[in-house]
Amino acid sequence: MQISRWIASAATAVMLAMSAGSLSAQAQEKLKIATEGAYPPFNTITADGKLVGFDIDITNALCAQMKVECELVTQDWDGMIPALQAKKFDAIIASMSITEERKKQVSFTNKYYTTPLSLVALKDSDIASTDPAALAGKTVGAQASTTQADYAQDVYGKAGAEAKLYPTQEEAVADLMNGRLDAVLSDKFVLMDWMKKSSDDCCKMVGDVKGTETEAGIA
């Protein structure tokens, strides 16, 4: 689906969701949209304090489509859903994977992208596969409260790996570069962007993890 068609479809879905929750976008002067600001290339903060990334572009396009003014705010990932439930903002656009557990807590629009989980390791590592057996005895980092954290704990952990969780993706890859982790598990596009921009040639992409494709939606 072309991005312009998706934006129109998603905008309709968002407005319907708001109406169902007694929150009309058309009746409001401003909507408050939350993102994390620490998940490049989807959402990150530049040196001069500006929010940029694909999620930000989607937010701006949706608000233009809905003809409402939107205020972007940042929220720590762990507190994202509780803050939405507490009505601290009106929606989350932060590359949040649509899962059955999250659907019990919040409503989602249709997906706006799909991605598998991927694994990166130190360049001289003997890790050559994303299979659980290949991670036995290794320490795998992931951002807490994410689908990758669940996989690291439930699948790699049961195979003998130690799952180490971090508040942000940036902290996980920093520990990998400093040799405190054997590998990091994350969204493929996030790892590709990091490898391209800031991995300092320390690491290698091991590959995609089969059967882990997830869909990101607006909550």
CB within 8 A of 195, min separation 6: which ones? 120, 203, 205
- Of residues 152 and 12, the one with the higher pLDDT is 152
Q: Where are the beta strands (DSSP E) in 167-208?
A: 183-187, 203-208
Domains of the chain, start order: 3-114 (3.40.190.10), 115-214 (3.40.190.10)
Q: Is 23 exposed, middle or buried (0-12, 13-18, 19+ CB in 10 A)?
A: middle
Report the predicted TM-score, pTM, of the whole model to 2 decimal places.
Answer: 0.83
Per residue in 146-195, pLDDT (tens digit) is 999 999 999 999 999 999 999 999 999 999 999 999 999 999 999 999 99
CB within 8 A of 46, min separation 6: which ones? 52
Token look-up 């902290």 returns 171
Token look-up 């493929």 returns 188
